[in-house]
């Protein structure tokens, strides 16, 4: 009888271990399928630490907003409400410490710092790593960095899907070509 209980417990634990990652994948796929796509312009990557493991690091032009609310601490959560500019790129419509009843998509970011002189709140977006196949990640990092330095205006952006405060980084695009295809083209 004790063996059956252990076997049942084993099955329950095994099912839980399969359910949790499957649920995470399903949630991300749901955001991509029914979320709103935003293009976030990237900034040049810090050349002193350009590549860690199997992903590329992305910095964004959209990283600050002027606010009269001066009570911000580093690592506070900030609700960033989005809209698109005339070129189709994401821009901040409003920010708040708490969810607002706006008919706008939002993401939850972390406060980096607040400058009381110009009342600018700097924040870190939650999608700054783009994972790629290991053999192509370094070439992709170099391509992003080179394109951001060489082209005016900046033609590199991250395609991010947003739904209910959640965000999924779906692709990095250089000159309207997916980074995956761009790296293949350069080979």
Report the pLDDT value the prediction gives residue 4, as an integer from 0 to 100: 86
Report the pLDDT value the prediction gives residue 107, as an integer from 0 to 100: 95
| Residue 149 Cα distances to 41, 68, 142, angstroms | 13, 34, 11
pLDDT along the chain (187 residues), means of 10: 84 90 85 86 57 72 88 92 92 92 92 90 90 77 73 78 92 86 70
Q: Take residue 114 and report the two structure tokens written for it.
A: 């607040």
| Phi and psi, residue 116, nearest 5° | -70, -20
8 A C-beta contact, residue 42 and residue 61: yes
Report the pLDDT value the prediction gives residue 49, as an integer from 0 to 100: 44
Predicted structure pTM score: 0.75
Strand duo 59-60 + 129-131: pairing: unpaired
Report the pLDDT value the prediction gives residue 130, as an integer from 0 to 100: 83
As a whole number of angstroms, the distance between CA 175 and CA 123 comes to 27
């Amino acid at each position: 009888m004790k063996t059956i209980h252990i076997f049942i417990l084993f099955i329950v634990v095994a099912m839980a271990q399969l359910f949790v990652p499957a649920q995470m994948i399903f949630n991300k796929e749901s955001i991509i399928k029914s979320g709103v796509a935003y293009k976030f312009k990237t900034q040049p990557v810090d050349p002193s630490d350009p590549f860690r493991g199997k992903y590329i690091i992305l910095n964004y032009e959209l990283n600050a907003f002027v606010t009269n609310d001066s009570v911000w601490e580093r690592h506070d959560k900030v609700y960033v409400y989005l809209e698109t500019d005339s070129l189709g790129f994401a821009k901040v419509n409003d920010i708040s410490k708490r969810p607002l009843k706006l008919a706008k998509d939002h993401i939850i970011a972390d406060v980096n710092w607040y400058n009381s002189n110009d009342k600018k709140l700097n924040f870190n977006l939650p999608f700054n790593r783009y994972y790629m196949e290991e053999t192509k990640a370094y070439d992709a990092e170099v391509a992003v960095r080179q394109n951001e330095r060489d082209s005016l205006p900046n033609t590199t952006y991250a395609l991010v899907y947003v739904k209910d405060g959640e965000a999924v980084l779906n692709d990095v695009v250089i000159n309207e070509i997916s980074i995956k295809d761009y790296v293949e083209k350069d080979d």
